[in-house]
């Protein structure tokens, strides 16, 4: 059955680099495959390949890392039906479970114990037309909405979406981050302050730690 196995790119422990869980030790279960092609995607290596594993094997490997936090990411994890029962099993095992999803995939069947971190794709991604707006009906205060911004046009798009769709009434966790190396975080901070926009500016911490350009200071 398609719920019995998944194609996995990698399972590893690191720290959570973004979201309100940033900085916490986390086990990442990265699935293979994505149906979008964001211009700035930083994980194209997860589009293809991977290893098919039984769901039980994936669960055991994730639990073996021992972190209280486990994140399903990709690629796009929700493309694989086995991810849904896997997330439930991780919750049953006492884990705090996060899923990073593109905003295109339907989130309505995600276990309510899971924290959804859902992108809304801005125009600079090239995939803005793929946003599944009905997903917003399934976003609650335990979930997070993430915008990745490449330029001022993307910022203004986010500002309009936040205001017109009254997103902060759904969740206080509205995350705004920049495409690494493309938009200066200090510009984003200035714009957010100027507009008193209710978003949390975040840096992709893992990139500052492990980028070849990072100074480590």
Could you say which of 43, 134, 140, 211 contacts ligand SF4 (CB under 6 A)?
A: 43
**Cβ-based neighbour number of residue 52 at 10 Å:** 10
Q: Which two tokens stand for residue 114?
A: 């899971």
Task: Report the nearest approach of ligand SF4 to the CB of residue 40 (Å).
Answer: 7
The one among 17, 50, 74, 77 contacting ligand SF4 by CB under 6 A: 74
Residue 36 CB, shortest distance to ligand SF4, in Å, is 4
How does strand 25-31 pair with strand 5-15?
Answer: antiparallel
Q: Which of 27/131 has CB closer to ligand SF4?
A: 131
Closest CA to 114 of 94, 96, 128, 141: 96
Q: Please state, as a whole number, how many other Cβ atoms lie within 10 Å of the Cβ of residue 54.
A: 12
Please identify which residue in 6, 36, 98, 174 interacts with ligand SF4, judged by CB under 6 A: 36
Binding of ligand SF4 by 34 (CB under 6 A)? yes
Instruction: Identify which of 93, 131, 133, 132 has the alpha carbon closest to the alpha carbon of residue 113.
Output: 93
Q: Does 102 bind ligand SF4 (CB under 6 A)?
A: yes
**Which residues from 128-157 bind ligand SF4, rule CB under 6 A?**
none
The site that binds ligand SF4 (CB under 6 A) totals a number of residues, namely 10
Structure tokens at 71: 């994140």
- Please say which residue, 76 or 143, places its beta carbon nearer to ligand SF4: 76
CA–CA separation, 70 vs 96, rounded Å? 6
Tell me: does residue 76 bind ligand SF4 (CB under 6 A).
yes
How far is the C-alpha of 143 from the C-alpha of 112, rounded, in Å?
10
- Whole-angstrom Cα distance, residue 38 to residue 75? 11
In this chain, which stretch among 69-77, 88-96, 152-160, 198-206 interacts with ligand SF4, using CB under 6 A? 69-77
Q: Does 72 bind ligand SF4 (CB under 6 A)?
A: no
Contact predicate 171/198, CB 8 Å = no
- In sequence order, the 6+-apart residues with CB closer than 8 A to the CB of 196 are none
- Report the residue number, 128 or 168, with the smaller CB distance to ligand SF4: 128
Is 8 an interacting residue with respect to ligand SF4 (CB under 6 A)?
A: no
Residues near ligand SF4 (CB under 6 A): 34, 36-38, 41, 43, 74-76, 102
């Amino acid at each position: 059955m398609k719920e019995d196995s998944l194609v996995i790119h990698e399972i590893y422990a690191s720290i959570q680099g973004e979201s309100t869980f940033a900085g916490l030790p986390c086990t990442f279960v990265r699935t293979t495959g994505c149906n979008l092609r964001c211009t700035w995607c930083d994980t194209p290596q997860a589009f293809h390949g991977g290893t098919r594993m039984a769901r039980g094997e994936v669960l055991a490997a994730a639990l073996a890392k021992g972190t209280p936090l486990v994140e399903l990411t990709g690629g796009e994890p929700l493309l694989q039906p086995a991810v849904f029962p896997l997330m439930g099993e991780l919750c049953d095992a006492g884990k705090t479970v996060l899923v990073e999803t593109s905003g295109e995939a339907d989130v309505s069947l995600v276990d309510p114990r899971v924290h959804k971190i859902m992108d809304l794709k801005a125009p600079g991604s090239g995939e803005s037309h793929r946003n599944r707006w009905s997903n917003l009906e399934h976003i609650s205060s335990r979930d997070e909405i993430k915008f990745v911004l490449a330029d001022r046009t993307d910022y203004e798009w986010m500002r309009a979406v936040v205001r017109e769709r009254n997103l902060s009434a759904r969740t206080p966790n509205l995350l705004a981050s920049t495409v690494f190396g493309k938009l200066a975080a200090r510009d984003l901070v200035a714009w957010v302050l100027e507009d008193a926009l209710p978003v949390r500016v975040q840096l992709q911490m893992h990139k500052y730690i492990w980028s070849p350009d990072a100074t480590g200071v």
